[in-house]
Amino acid sequence: MPEPPRLSDLGGSTEGLNDPRSRRSFLGKAGALTLAIPALGSALVACRSDSEQERPKSRPEEQERAHGQDLHNSSSRLDTAASTAGAAAAAAAPFARYAPELPPLPTGNRLQLHWHAREAHVRISDSTTVAAWTFEGSLPGPIVHCRVGDTVEFTLTNDVDIPHSMDFHAAQIDPKTAFRSVTKGQSVTFTFKPKFAGAFMYHCGTAPVLLHIGSGMHGAIIVSPREGMPQAKEFVLVQSEYYLANEAGGARAFDYQKMLSTLPDFVCFNGRPNQYIAEPVRVKVGDRVRFWVVNAGPTHPCNFHVVGEQFDTMYLGAPPGTPIRGVQTWDVPPGGGICFELLCDVPGEFPFVNHGFGHGQKGAIGFLVVE
């Protein structure tokens, strides 16, 4: 019987998992180990504290509430970061696994979103809390899901001193007007109807864009085709890179010079290095799995691959058109998104990785467990 995959074998970074005093360290390592010993896994899950438990499978309102409780509180704002209270808030920022499940479609043909540009401390691992610029206090921002032809009414209100904006790649709209920057207390509103299905990036487009995307202001809008697609378990993965300064006041700020140097500290799916190693994505034998992969960058490609599997379908462009069959790895460029599908007809633990392994090693790796 083949040896089960181990984190070290797979090139997963052990950042945040190495401190022997750390309980999450233990649970993280054990999480990988228990892929081979399922009973141990359930025992470990049972002994986690509430804050460490995976959040219930998300609905958008629940995600909102969860993000609100974890990240929206005013004590986590950057403007207090230099103070004792700020350091305490950074230290207290809880770790929350980012739920990768695609949220349900809205009822009706209209989606109204009113988001705020906020600063927030976000814990991305045991040892690292970042002082992020965010949409809605969430890193990456909330997942948006709509259909081709739906009306998306979007408002951004800026709560902070630095100007911010919103650029949806799913929109065809005059960017000078719709994607303009707004200052503290101001709002910008625009409406669009996505013409094409696919996985699209959104991001703050305020100059320098590198700094705003790289500091956390990015996310995914998934546009489903009106004609529907084959039944599947659908997940959203947003790859991003972290370029961080040393810790100060309990959190690490983002480092623009490092962003220019393009040598990241971490690369990860959904904002937390190795989070789906510790708590995998789980499906059943026979499930079709659809990964909507968006690469927020800001700079490097995501060479998406599932170890031990092949994508029977990949949509290069708007699904369900232009299917490509039998793909092993395909690169999602920064600012792009691609829909990948596989049929999980074999049980096992399948690592999904950025097969550019320098970046898989830095945290862009997780487990798809087929039970």
C-beta closer to Cu ion: residue 206 or 303? 206
C-beta closer to Cu ion: residue 156 or 306? 156
Closest contact distance (angstroms) between CB of 110 and Cu ion is 26
Q: Which residue from 81, 93, 204, 221 is in contact with Cu ion, where contact means CB under 5 A? A: 204
Residue 286 gets which letter from DSSP?
T
The stretch near Cu ion (CB under 5 A) out of 36-44, 198-206, 230-238, 309-317 is 198-206
Distances (CA, A) of 134 to 67, 116, 118, 162, 172: 11, 8, 5, 12, 23
| Residue sitting closest to Cu ion (CB) | 204
The stretch near Cu ion (CB under 5 A) out of 44-52, 61-69, 207-215, 267-275 is 207-215
Kindly list the strands in the beta sheet with 244-248, ordered across the sheet, starting from the edge strand earlier in the chain.
187-192, 151-158, 110-123, 129-135, 251-254, 244-248
The stretch near Cu ion (CB under 5 A) out of 39-47, 57-65, 83-91, 197-205 is 197-205
C-beta closer to Cu ion: residue 92 or 113? 113
Closest contact distance (angstroms) between CB of 218 and Cu ion is 10
Does 138 engage in binding with Cu ion (CB under 5 A)?
Answer: no
Q: Which residue from 71, 130, 131, 217 is in contact with Cu ion, where contact means CB under 5 A? A: 217
Q: What is the DSSP string of 252-283?
A: EEE-HHHHHHT--SEEEETTSTTHHHHS-EEE
Angle CA 87–270–160, to nearest 5: 45
Select from 229, 295, 292 the least CA-distant residue to 103. Answer: 292
Q: Where are the alpha helices (DSSP H) in the chain?
A: 7-10, 23-33, 38-46, 60-71, 84-92, 175-178, 209-214, 256-261, 275-278, 357-360
Residue 50 gets which letter from DSSP?
G
Q: Looking at the DSSP assignment, which residues form a beta bridge with residue 110?
A: 151
Task: Enumerate residues 144-183 that contact Cu ion by CB under 5 A.
Answer: 164
Could you tell me if 62 and 232 are in contact, meaning their C-beta atoms sit under 8 angstroms apart?
A: no
Does 212 engage in binding with Cu ion (CB under 5 A)?
Answer: yes
Select from 364, 264, 309 the least CA-distant residue to 12. Answer: 364
Does 206 engage in binding with Cu ion (CB under 5 A)?
Answer: yes
82: helix, strand or coil: coil
C-beta closer to Cu ion: residue 26 or 256? 256
| CB count in 10 Å sphere of residue 151 | 14
Can you give the length of the chain in residues? 371
C-beta closer to Cu ion: residue 57 or 176? 176
Phi and psi at residue 36, to the nearest 5°:
-95, -20
Specify the DSSP element, H or E, that contains 240: strand 233-242
**Size of residue set near Cu ion by CB under 5 A:** 5
The stretch near Cu ion (CB under 5 A) out of 62-70, 139-147, 200-208, 349-357 is 200-208
Closest contact distance (angstroms) between CB of 133 and Cu ion is 6
Q: How far apart are CA 80 and CA 16, in angstroms?
A: 25
Closest contact distance (angstroms) between CB of 362 and Cu ion is 24
C-beta closer to Cu ion: residue 217 or 267? 217
Q: What is the DSSP string of 90-132?
A: HHHPPB-PPP-BPPPPPSSSEEEEEEEEEEEEEE-SSS-EEEE
Closest contact distance (angstroms) between CB of 203 and Cu ion is 8
Mask: binding to Cu ion, 242-281, rule CB under 5 A, as x and -?
----------------------------------------
The stretch near Cu ion (CB under 5 A) out of 140-148, 169-177, 188-196, 203-211 is 203-211
C-beta closer to Cu ion: residue 14 or 155? 155
C-beta closer to Cu ion: residue 202 or 292? 202
Does 118 engage in binding with Cu ion (CB under 5 A)?
Answer: no
C-beta closer to Cu ion: residue 206 or 274? 206
Supply the angle between the helices 38-46 and 23-33 in degrees, to the nearest 10: 150
Does 203 engage in binding with Cu ion (CB under 5 A)?
Answer: no
Distance of CA 197 to the CA centre of its chain: 20
The stretch near Cu ion (CB under 5 A) out of 102-110, 187-195, 196-204, 280-288 is 196-204
Closest contact distance (angstroms) between CB of 21 and Cu ion is 37
Binding positions for Cu ion, rule: CB under 5 A = 164, 204, 206, 212, 217
